[in-house]
Amino acid sequence: MSRSNHNRITPSGSPPIQSGADTPHSIEPTFDDRLRQLFDEAEDADSERCLSWVSALLAESPSADASLVGLERLLRAVPDRRELFWQLLHSPRAIEVLLTIFAASPYLTDLLLCEPSLLSQLTQPQLLRELRSRPEFFDAAILAVEGATTADERAIALRDFQHGELLRIGVCDFLGLFDLRSVTNQLSLLADATVQAALRLIGPGEEVESHVSNSLSPASG
């Protein structure tokens, strides 16, 4: 803004009030500033090495800002940053997958941020591309809730299982590991198996509709 604009008088005779954008303290940090801050906050050598790898990948990404935003949100969501960086450093493919998710899918990003533990699936390529049958989905769902003791715990565990499978299938879709027919089939089998598991797990006298809907809602959690 020019000096003449700063001296301009409003129709009421009072100097114009400067907007927040005109004050030095409101300047948004640049992409480089935000990336530099992550390096400044790195707690060990593994974290710095991982961030160097991330920085190199972001430099080649057409959606670098979206990927960086996702990474910043994930770092705020995890309980231990050093553990996250160690996990990513020992699975370089997971870094690429992670940045792809952040850039391409707000839905999958939100799933991951709600349950950061799902990240472990991205570090196991042999499991990532696994095509499952309905019985296999069902058995995995039952196993996922095995330790739950209350109806609410079972519903939450089943929901988390479903979210993990949705993330896995979605990643395979984005990376071209599954064709469209396989993606559609896997989603259908997952839905059927999760409903069957919910009905199996609900005890006498409990509200079927409530627990099934809570467990199967992609947006819950």
Q: DSSP secondary structure string, 105-164? A: -HHHHHHHHH-GGGGGGGG-HHHHT----HHHHHHHHHHHTTT--SHHHHHHHHHHHHHH
Is 7 within the bounds of a domain? no
Q: What is the pLDDT of residue 117?
A: 82
- Looking at the 3D structure of the chain, how many domains does it have? 2
Residues 39 and 89 in one domain: yes
Could you tell me the two tokens for 16? Answer: 């114009």
Minimum mean pLDDT range among 124-133, 145-154, 160-169:
124-133
Is 152 within the bounds of a domain? yes
Q: Angle 98-221-185 (CA atoms, 0-180°, nearest 5)? A: 65
Residues 131 and 212 in one domain: yes
Could you tell me the two tokens for 145? Answer: 């809730």
CB 118 within 8 A of CB 164: yes
Sequence length of the chain is 221
Percent of the chain with pLDDT over 90: 53
Is 47 within the bounds of a domain? yes
Could you tell me the two tokens for 117? Answer: 């533990």
Residues 97 and 159 in one domain: no
CA-nearest of 175, 166, 97 to 132 is 166
Could you tell me the two tokens for 105? Answer: 């899918």
pLDDT (average), residues 110-128 = 83
Is 76 within the bounds of a domain? yes
Which single residue is written with the structure tokens 């959606």? 63
Residues 158 and 81 in one domain: no
Q: What is the pLDDT of residues 51-87, one digit of tens each?
A: 999 999 999 988 999 999 999 999 999 999 999 999 8
Q: What is the pLDDT of residue 121?
A: 78
CB 178 within 8 A of CB 185: no
**Domain range for residue 145?**
127-216
Is 113 within the bounds of a domain? no
CA-nearest of 201, 129, 188 to 158 is 201
Is 118 within the bounds of a domain? no
Is 1 within the bounds of a domain? no
Tell me which of 74, 106, 138 is where a domain ends.
106
Q: What is the pLDDT of residues 82-105, one digit of tens each?
A: 999 998 888 878 888 899 899 989
Residues 132 and 183 in one domain: yes
CA-nearest of 56, 127, 50, 66 to 99 is 66
CA-nearest of 149, 162, 140, 143 to 212 is 162
Residues 71 and 138 in one domain: no
Give how far the C-alpha of residue 16 lies from the chain's centroid of Cα atoms, to the nearest Å.
43
Is 156 within the bounds of a domain? yes
Tell me which of 48, 74, 106 is where a domain ends.
106
Residues 101 and 41 in one domain: yes
- From residue 141, give the alpha-carbon distance in Å to each of 163, 195, 196: 11, 10, 9
Please name the amino acid found at residue 60: E
Please name the amino acid found at residue 65: D
Tell me which of 61, 76, 106 is where a domain ends.
106
Q: What is the pLDDT of residues 141-154, one digit of tens each?
A: 999 999 888 889 99
Put simply, whether the predicted model's pTM sits higher than 0.75 gets the answer: no
Q: Determine how many CB atoms are found less than 10 A away from the CB of residue 52.
A: 13
Q: What is the pLDDT of residues 5-45, one digit of tens each?
A: 444 444 444 444 444 445 455 688 999 999 999 999 988 99
Residues 90 and 135 in one domain: no
Give how far the C-alpha of residue 91 lies from the chain's centroid of Cα atoms, to the nearest Å.
17
